[in-house]
Structure 1
Amino acid sequence: MTTVEDFHADHDDWPWNPPRPGRATFHYLIMITEGELRHDVDHVTWTVAPGQWLWVRPGHVQCWHDPGTARGPFVLFEPDVLRPDIATLLRPVTAHDAPTVLTPEPHDAPWLERTALQLLDEHRALGRRPLATHHALRRSLLEALLLRLAHSPDRDPRTSHAAARSTARRPLYDQFLDAVELHYRELHHVDDYARLFGCSVRTLSRATRTAAGTGARQVIDERRLLEARRLLGHAGWTAHAVTAHLGFPDTADFGRFFRNRVGLTPAAYAARQATPGTDTPR
């Protein structure tokens, strides 16, 4: 637990001078109280205004911009810090495809800020209370913060599609997303997942379209494409390596898949991402 301004002060150059992308291994949750924060998540540049929250989740590729005058509490936590029952309640907002920028409802915003500041105070008060009590308070405050944030509807139109995907879910669609996240490397067809759930392709496709407004095949393809972009743009993998990792028959097939959806060859995309300032603004 820290603040944007303290994090900036503690890291003179890294990670914003020069910008260096990295893959998150835990959750980054930042509330902006002053100024404006720009932050790249999966090669999209987001602008976070006062009162909004940025949420970077494990697996996302992120890249910092110089925070400048941005101020606000900054929470970092690993997924296993949450109790299992709380983690279940938070699944819609901890999922990799949940909204990146959250805009709480006005009546929730002051409460959320106060809780974040209480969490910061408790984090800095190591030694004030017995260690077990200190850790229990930190976890309780974090869970309260996340639960309130999760159930304050996102009103940011820039994330309306993602918000719909994370709030309008149905049980079968939830299971489908979990299965895609686990098996996107080896299972590439809708009927593969339908067999997992013992349902027809039509039933799974209907459930996906009802919950997300898109087809089941598109969900699978989007997850594979996202991973390809992460590996080509951040990890510096070759098209051949990504082809094998994601289970494409050959490099030509992967190249067609990628070019049809991105408009660039894998090599051209990798070269573009290696050039600062080429991310898509939001």
Structure 2
Amino acid sequence: MTTVEDFHADHDDWPWNPPRPGRATFHYLILVTEGELRHDVDHVTRTVAPGQWLWVRPGHVQCWHDPGSTRGPFILFEPGALRPDTARELAPLTTHDAPAVLTPHPDDAPWLEQTALQLLDEHRALGRRPLTAHHALRCSLLEALLLRLANSPDLTTAPSQRRPVYERFLDALELHHRELHHVDDYARLLGCSVRTLSRAAQAATGTGARQVIDERRLLEARRLLGHARWTARAVADHLGFTDTANFGRFFRHHTGLTPAAYAARQATPDP
């Protein structure tokens, strides 16, 4: 638990000069109270205005921009920090495709800021009370904050209102996107028809299930080529393509770039 301004001061010009992408292993939760924060999440630049929250989930590839004069609480926590019942309640909100920038309900915004500041105060108060009480208070404040943040309009309109079939499809896709690549594969796995799965995807996203599968594979390819610096051949093998050429055609069709050109662009930070 820290603040954006302290993080900026403590790390001088790292990691934003030059900007270097990295894959998150924690949840990063930032409330902007002053200034404006720009932050890349899975290669998309998000702009976070005062009163908004940035939520980067484990598995996302993120890249910092210089926060400059931006101020606000900065919370990092591991998935295991939440109690099982709370984790289950928040499960739809911690997936890779949940919104990265959240605008709280106006009635909740002051409460959320106050709770974040209380969490920061408790974190800095190590030694003020017994360690078990200190830890329990931090966990309780964090869970209360997340559960209230889950009421944000960005989250209550999606993804929490997705159809159950689509929710199960996303869970299966996270587990099997490396080896299962066809809609009928997932329909059999979920015990439904291809038509039912396609309708569920269309209702939730406006696109077909095939597009959802392709977008997930493409996202993983971009993460591995850009951040991990894998070769096209390694990515093709990892994601189950028949050969490197087939992967190259897939990637170019969706991005307009060859895998090599994309990797080179990611390796050269913008001036």
Q: Find the aligned partners of 1:110 and 1:12 in 2 and give their Cα distance.
A: 31
Aligned to 1:119: 119
Please state if 1:272 is matched with 2:265.
yes
Q: Distance in 2 between matches of 1:3 and 1:21?
A: 21
Measured after TM superposition, the shift of residue 212 of structure 1 is 2.1
User: Distance between the aligned counterparts of 1:213 and 1:92, measured in 2?
Assistant: 19
Which of these residues, 162, 168, 179, is aligned with residue 186 of structure 1?
Answer: 179
Deviations 1:160-201 (A, max 9, x none): xx9855133121111110010011001111111111111111
Cα distance between partner residues in 1 of 2:156 and 2:8: 30
Paired residue for 1:76? 76
The secondary structure found in structure 2 opposite 1:167 is: coil
Distance in 2 (alpha carbons) for counterparts of 1:47 and 1:150 = 20
Match of 1:102 in 2: 102
**Counterpart position of 1:135:** 135
Query: Is the CA contact (8 Å cut-off) linking 1:61 and 1:230 kept in structure 2?
Result: yes
1:55-70 alignment runs, 5 A limit? 55-70=55-70
Higher relative contact order (CA 8 A, sep 6+): 1
Change (3 A) 1:263 1:163: farther
Which residue is equivalent to 2:28? 28
User: Which residue in the other structure is 1:237 paired with?
Assistant: 230
1:225 is matched with 218
Ranges of 4+ aligned residues in structure 1 off by more than 6 Å: none
Distance 1:31 1:44 in 2: 19
Confirm or deny: 8 A CA contact 2:150 2:156 kept in the other structure. Answer: no
- The one-character-per-residue Cα deviations of 1:40-73 (angstroms, maximum 9, x if unpaired) are 1111111111001111110111111111000000
* TM-score calculated relative to the size of structure 2: 0.97
Q: SS of 2:223's equivalent?
A: helix
Aligned to 2:14: 14
How do 1:30-45 and structure 2 match up within 5 A?
Answer: 30-45=30-45
Deviation string 1:119-177 (CA, Å, 9 cap, x unpaired) is 001111111111111111111100110111111212xxxxxxx9855133121111110
**Could you tell me whether the CA contact under 8 Å between 1:172 and 1:204 is conserved in 2?**
yes
**TM-score of the pair, normalised by structure 1:** 0.93
Where do 5+ consecutive residues of structure 1 fail to align? Answer: 155-161
Q: Distance in 1 between matches of 2:136 and 2:179?
A: 40
- Paired-residue identity, %: 82
Maintained 8 Å contact 2:105/2:151:
no
Distance change (3 Å), C-alpha of 1:187 and 1:164: farther
Please show how residues 45-60 of structure 1 align to structure 2 within 5 Å: 45-60=45-60
Counterpart Cα distance in 1 of 2:15 and 2:156: 29
Task: Go from structure 1 to structure 2 and tell me whether the alpha carbon gap of 1:130 and 1:9 turns closer, same or farther (over 3 Å shift).
Answer: same
Cα distance in 2 for partners of 1:48, 1:277 equals: 20
Most deviating of 93-102 and 210-219: 210-219
User: Could you tell which deviates more after superposition, 1-10 or 85-94?
Assistant: 85-94
Give the whole-Å Cα distance in 2 for the aligned partners of 1:164 and 1:260: 31
Written as runs of structure 1 = structure 2, the 5 A alignment for 1:153-164 is 153-154=153-154
In the alignment, structure 2 segments of 5+ residues that lack a partner are none
What is the alpha-carbon root mean square deviation over aligned residues?
1.3
Deviations 1:234-280 (CA, angstroms, capped at 9, x unpaired): 111111010000000011110111111101111111111122139xx
CA contact under 8 A between 2:25 and 2:58: conserved in structure 1? yes
Alignment partner of 1:213 is 2:206: yes
Partner of 1:158: none
The verdict on how the C-alpha distance between 1:218 and 1:38 changes in structure 2, with shifts beyond 3 A counting, is: same
CA–CA distance in structure 1, aligned partners of residues 267 and 98 of structure 2: 26
